[in-house]
């Protein structure tokens, strides 16, 4: 991540102030706006020692870079970064119930943000994304994720296939979602250490990624469509795991 960037939107700014205040350099709020959530952000930011300024809407428009800011932007330094070498400790801490989301080449920041939001809601252990040929966590992702990008570990890996091999050595079952698979998602046992792997918007799972999955499965779609948007498929898959774990 760059040394400093602007994030925009009430949810994104509120999440940064709540979860990572040490990296929020300043908060700009729309002067004269009566939204109680802006007042809440201002109060929380001031308690955390963050500079808060009330400015004109035009000033917010200028720094938001085209994003819908809802009267709130923040200058944000590097958030907590996670290294792939931290995965073993995260999995061990999950005590046999690690749930990982692996995204193989998602390109659209809105899709990544929506995936992170579902991941946070499902209580995932970590989200794994490749460093190359995939969108990274930027201001758009933070806004779309409604704060999830700052509340769950997002781990960028250099070599996704190698990462999957390491996960298998740690006792994690790797399940890839593919429309042509014979098995269905609902036939999988998702109660232990599990990584759910979903492909990008254009190509789906890449060949090497498929080869490193223990099993491929599909989401049944009796309506006749071949595939779902990756963020929708992510929500379906993660909450099937949540359902199974709740019944286990």
Q: Annotate 97-129 with DSSP letters as a single string.
A: --EEEEEE----HHHHHHHHHHHHHHT-SEEEE
What does the DSSP 8-state code read for residue 78?
-
**Which CATH architecture does the domain made up of 84-247 adopt?**
3-Layer(aba) Sandwich (3.40)
The pLDDT value given to residue 78 = 59
Q: Which residues pair with 55 in a beta bridge?
A: 30
CB atoms within 10 A of CB 39: 12
Measured torsion, CA atoms of residues 173, 148, 8, 43, in degrees rounded to the nearest 10: -160
* Residues counted in the chain: 248
Q: Give which of 247, 234, 19 is closest to 118, Cα–Cα.
A: 234
Report the distance separating Cα 215 and Cα 5, nearest Å.
40
At 101 the three-state DSSP class reads strand
Q: For the stretch 63-98, what's the b/e string if a residue is b when 16 or more beta carbons lie within 10 angstroms of its beta carbon?
A: bbeebebbbbbbbbeebeebebeebeebbeebeeeb
The H or E element spanning position 162 is helix 160-169
Cα(245)–Cα(191) distance, integer angstroms: 5
Which part of the chain is CATH 3.30.1330.30?
Answer: 4-77
Digit-by-digit pLDDT tens for the chain (248 residues) are: 445 678 899 988 998 888 778 888 999 999 999 899 999 999 999 999 999 999 999 999 999 888 889 999 999 875 567 889 999 999 999 999 999 999 998 999 999 999 999 999 999 999 999 998 888 887 678 778 877 887 899 999 999 999 999 999 999 999 999 988 999 999 999 999 999 999 988 788 999 999 999 999 999 987 766 678 999 999 999 999 999 999 55
Domain 4-77 maps to which CATH number in 1.20.200.10, 3.30.1330.30, 3.50.50.60, 3.30.750.24?
Answer: 3.30.1330.30
* Predicted local confidence at residue 7, as pLDDT: 86
Instruction: Give CA–CA dist 69/59, Å, rounded.
Output: 11
The token pair at 69 is: 């800011």
Element (DSSP H or E) covering residue 176: strand 173-177
**Could you give the CA distance from residue 223 to residue 112 in angstroms, rounded to a whole number?**
25
Is residue 168 within 8 Å of residue 100, measured between CB atoms?
no
Q: Indicate where the chain has its CATH 3.40.1280.10 domain(s).
A: 84-247
| Residues near 57 by beta carbon (within 8 Å), at least 6 away in sequence | 30, 71
């Amino acid at each position: 991540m760059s040394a400093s960037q602007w994030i925009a939107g009430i949810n994104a700014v509120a999440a940064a102030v709540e979860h990572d205040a040490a990296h929020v350099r300043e908060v700009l709020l729309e002067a004269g706006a009566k939204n109680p959530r802006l007042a809440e952000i201002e109060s929380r930011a001031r308690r955390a020692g963050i500079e808060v300024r009330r400015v004109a809407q035009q000033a917010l428009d200028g720094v938001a870079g085209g994003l819908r800011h809802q009267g709130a932007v923040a200058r944000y330094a590097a958030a907590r970064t996670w290294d792939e070498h931290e995965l073993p400790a995260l999995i061990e801490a999950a005590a046999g119930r690690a749930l990982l989301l692996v995204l193989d080449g998602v390109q659209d920041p809105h899709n990544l943000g929506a995936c992170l939001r579902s991941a946070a809601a499902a209580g995932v252990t970590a989200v794994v994304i490749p460093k190359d040929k995939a969108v990274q966590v930027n201001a758009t992702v933070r806004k779309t994720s409604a704060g999830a990008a700052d509340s769950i570990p997002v781990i960028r890996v250099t070599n996704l296939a190698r990462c999957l091999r390491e996960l298998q050595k740690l006792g994690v079952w790797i399940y890839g979602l593919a429309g042509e698979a014979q098995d269905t998602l609902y036939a999988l046992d998702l109660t232990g250490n599990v990584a759910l792997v979903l492909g990008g918007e254009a190509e789906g799972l890449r060949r090497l990624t498929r080869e490193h999955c223990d099993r491929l499965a599909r989401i049944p779609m009796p309506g006749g469509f071949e595939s779902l948007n990756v963020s929708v498929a992510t929500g379906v898959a993660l909450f099937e795991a949540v359902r199974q774990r709740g019944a286990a």
